[in-house]
Amino acid sequence: MWKIGFEFEFSFLEEQFIKPTNFIEKFVEDQSCYIEAITYPVSLLSNCKKRDEIFDLIKSHSYLENPKINKLCGGHITISKLNLTGKELFIKFKKYIPIIYSLCFKRLKYHACCKNLYLDKIGIKFAPMHAKKDLLEIRLFPMSKNIDEIFFRYKLINKIAEAIDKNLSYDKFLDTIKDLIDPVFINYSYHFKKMIKEKKRNKYVRNYLPR
């Protein structure tokens, strides 16, 4: 069973909302923004009644819709699967991560995720992916601007999880997300795939990377 957890960073949040719920496990202070909400992990599922219940739970948190944020606020995601370590998850997700590089190219220069861009090391925290003991943290996503973005990220990570379970090629994986993602991002992801594989910048991605 795959599970996903979310982190939501706010530059401001009314005090009445700063409390645990059946979705938000806890709030912690955040250095780059103001405060961060950390969720309980929820099951990663394709379209079904249980997934609808998860989406309804997220919808019930009104402060996630058009939140008050600044450009530093992040929307990190954690992923887990029974019997897989963080290191194993890192290796499996690396195959499909170029699409997230393409979607979140503006975040590649941010201090929170600008290290280890070739993903040739494991255990580097301020990187696009960070392996923990039994979790993988995807750090590239900015804070979501509305609930639809949260649903989109849930669906995308679920597609990656399904691709891992089926050991799909990158091309076959992209075929499964054509209805989810603009073809521009899909096509551009190949430049990031090439960068990660060759461990060097290319002319198509150079401007999006830290110097």
pLDDT score of 30: 85
Q: Is 43 helix (H, G, I), strand (E, B) or coil?
A: strand
pLDDT score of 149: 97
The domain tally of the chain equals 1
| Residue 79 domain boundaries | 2-208
pLDDT score of 86: 97
pLDDT score of 122: 95
Tokens for 125?
């925290």
- pTM: predicted TM-score of the whole model, two decimal places: 0.96
pLDDT score of 211: 85
Mean pLDDT along residues 103-112: 95
Assess contact for 127 and 139: CB atoms under 8 A: yes
CA distances from 109 to 190, 204, 207 (A): 19, 15, 10
Percentage of the chain modeled with pLDDT above 90 = 95
What are residue 43's DSSP bridge partners? 3
CA distances from 4 to 53, 137, 201 (A): 15, 10, 31
CA distance 13 to 82: 34
Assess contact for 148 and 139: CB atoms under 8 A: no
What are residue 72's DSSP bridge partners? none
Mean pLDDT along residues 105-111: 94
pLDDT score of 201: 95
Question: What is the 3 state secondary structure string of 169-190?
Answer: CHHHHHHHCCCCCCHHHHHHHH
pLDDT score of 210: 93
Mean pLDDT along residues 156-165: 98
Reported as a single tens digit per residue, the pLDDT across 24-82 is 999 999 888 899 999 999 999 998 999 999 999 999 999 999 999 988 899 999 999 99
Helices (H), 95-142: 98-103
